[in-house]
Structure 1
Amino acid sequence: MHRAAVLLRHLASHSKSASPSVRSVRFASTGAAGGSGPGSGPGSGSGARTGTGAGTGIGAGATEFGAIGSNSQPTTARVFAYNPDATPSVSMETRGKICTIILSRPVARNAVDRPTAEALADAFRAFDQDPTMHVAVLFGANGTFCAGADLKALASGNPQRYNRLEETGDGPMGPTRMTELSKPVIAACTGHVVAGGLELALLCDLRVAHEDAVFGVFCRRFGVPLIDGGTFRLPRIVGHGRAMDMILTGRAVDAKEALGMGLVTKLVPKSQDVRTAAEQLAEQISAFPQECMRRDRASALQQWGMSEKDALHNEFQHGLVSLAAGAQAGALSFAQGKGRGGQF
């Protein structure tokens, strides 16, 4: 039997009996001191992000395939840490109304084991439940977005590191079953965005990618299935034919091709910082009247599976709420000349 199949059967047999990993969530706040990259502690540079909480993660791991820009605004870092791990693999930085969730396991190319998946899910929930946050950015540090599930964790013999395999609750990669997220999330993609990492990116509303980003269902070569929404979300985003090409062949799709098929929203040159570009897009979205934007987003997401009649009814109901929340005031602002020509 294929080694990956053996691992998955082993995982399935242990997923319900294994006790969850002991964890504690702690929060650390930082100011706008220096630090131009992931790591703990401030660095040099005027107004650069501190990067608190991004580090080596939870040890080495095999994957399914084989510089943060400066900003003068204050940053608050909330670190999702798991005992007994010395360095957390997931951290959250907030600036204004923007939340950036950082995945950092450099020795494993940001591959996700169970503790990391739980930390990602906690971070997504914290963002969605925080009324002061409008848009989130999911960023993979150290030049890789995410290489998928950590297969070395599956082979470790430690059930506490096995990715979760249960039909209800969080997905194996963490937040991938959070279908009720009420606010937009943007994936800042660089390096490999593959297998389960691709599924994390598909969860997001938009994907901003470096020119060097590579997308693909690389788990195809190991007999590991897409079980974090890949077969559901990919066809909706790129169309059935293109999705089947990626799913059946497992081939690498470069960033330029991904842009052409609609998988990527915006392409960022190598000379620019993909995280900064994603956060700038997030700031643009956060400047809009939020109730109306979120209602239109919800309507667009909910129309899948509806008849045309039901979708139109659902859209109208969301629209009524938006109108009651201040659309008339927005129309008055437009009449007064505000917001014309794309200026706010």
Structure 2
Amino acid sequence: MPSVLYSVEDAVATLTIDRPERRNAIDGPTADALQDRFEDFAADESAHVLVVTGSGDDAFCAGADLKALESLAHRSGAEQGFEGFTRLDSPKPTIAAISGWCVAGGLELALWADLRIATTTSRFGVLTRRHGLPFIDGGTQRLPRAIGLPRALDLLMTGREIGAEEAERMGLVNEVVAPGNHLERAREVARTIAGHPQYALLADRRAAIEGFGLPLRAGLDLEAQVHNLDLG
């Protein structure tokens, strides 16, 4: 049975980690499949938005499968990411649809997405702390960008778990929904995004992402460059 499911409907691609018996933890074959399906999405001109989720309601993703770490050895140092594609930039919008556990590398996967929609039952945390493992799939860089450095350091150093309400208050998630509604809500938002004319949307997204953290003047120059504006 494939551990990753992929489908496209109404210009929205859905990528599902299908290992509910392991809280959708990622082993080597799953990481390889995630990378392959992301590359399919990136190359598919008919797919405008990607929704990433986990099978079932118990977990979005619990990170690396600690009982199958040897199967991930071949991905050590992979430029795409240890657990799939989280060290790559997506050329198109992405949404994480989260239910249950979203921890360790699973949190890094959620942070990779542009938007995060979670259920009230969701739990978040850098639980790699408890096992002496590093946060190496982009988490140390994306977490501070999402919630600010002091809050990020709190989660990174304490390894504490937080619920959906605190995650929303921090800005870690964009929206909290009732249990079982995360995927449909994510697809609804994705369809809205996919329904807009894409050229300007993609350019605005790129300018916002690449300009984040730049001095204002440099950001304005980037904005003009992205939109091919001649302001001279």
Q: TM-score range by the shorter chain?
A: over 0.9
In 2, Cα distance between equivalents of 1:251 and 1:100 = 30
1:175 — aligned with what?
85
Q: Tell me if structure 2 keeps the 8 A contact 1:145–1:191.
A: yes
Distance 1:192 1:152, change over 3 A: same
Query: Identity rate of aligned residues, in percent?
Result: 44
* Structure holding more strand per residue: 2
Which one of 150, 156, 177 corresponds to residue 65 of structure 2? 150
One-letter amino acid of the counterpart of residue 221, structure 2: H
Q: After superposition, where does 1:129-148 map in structure 2 within 5 Å?
A: 129-143=43-57, 144-148=59-63
Alignment partner of 1:241 is 2:150:
yes
Could you say if the C-alpha distance between residues 163 and 265 of structure 1 is closer, same or farther in structure 2, counting changes exceeding 3 Å?
farther
Find the partner of 1:196 among 81, 99, 105: 105
Q: Which amino acid aligns with 2:205?
A: R
Residue type of the alignment partner of 1:290:
Q
- Helix, strand or coil: the match of 1:152? helix
Cα distance in 2 for residues equivalent to 1:316 and 1:193: 37
Higher relative contact order (CA 8 A, sep 6+): 2
Question: Normalized per residue, which structure has more helix?
Answer: 2
User: How far apart are the structure 1 equivalents of 2:175 and 2:71?
Assistant: 38
> 2:132 aligned with 1:218, yes or no?
no
Aligned equivalent of 2:73: 162
2:36 is matched with which residue?
A: 122
Cα deviations by residue, 1:126-182 (Å, 9 ceiling, x for unpaired)? 11110011101001012210001011112xxxx54436211x522111111112x21
Task: Give 3-state SS (helix, strand or coil) of 1:310's partner.
Answer: helix
- Conserved 8 A contact 2:53-2:183: yes
> Which amino acid in 1 is paired with 2:49?
V
Do the aligned partners of 1:113 and 1:163 also contact (CA within 8 Å) in 2?
Answer: no
Contact map agreement 2:27 2:71 (CA 8 A) in 1: no
TM-score, normalization: structure 1?
0.64
Which residues of 2 match residues 82-97 of structure 1 at below 5 A?
Answer: 87-97=1-11
CA distance in 2: counterparts of 1:304 and 1:317, whole angstroms: 15
Are the aligned partners of 1:186 and 1:205 in contact in 2 as well (CA < 8 Å)?
yes
- Deviation by residue 1:178-225 (Cα, 9 ceiling, x = unmatched): 12x210110000000000000000000000001100010011011011
1:206 aligns with 2:122: no
Structure 2 regions of 5+ residues with no counterpart?
none
- For structure 1, the 5+ residue unaligned runs are 1-86, 322-344
RMSD: 1.4
Contact 1:172 1:228 in 2 (8 A): yes
1:310 shift after superposition:
2.0
CA-CA distance at 1:288 after TM superposition: 1.1
TM-score in terms of structure 2 length:
0.94
CA distance in 2, matches of 1:146, 1:163: 21
- Equivalent pair of 1:99/1:137 in contact (CA under 8 Å): yes
Q: Map 1:34-45; keep pairs closer than 5 Å.
A: none
- Aligned equivalents of 2:147 and 2:74: distance in 1? 28
SS of 1:306's equivalent in the other structure is coil
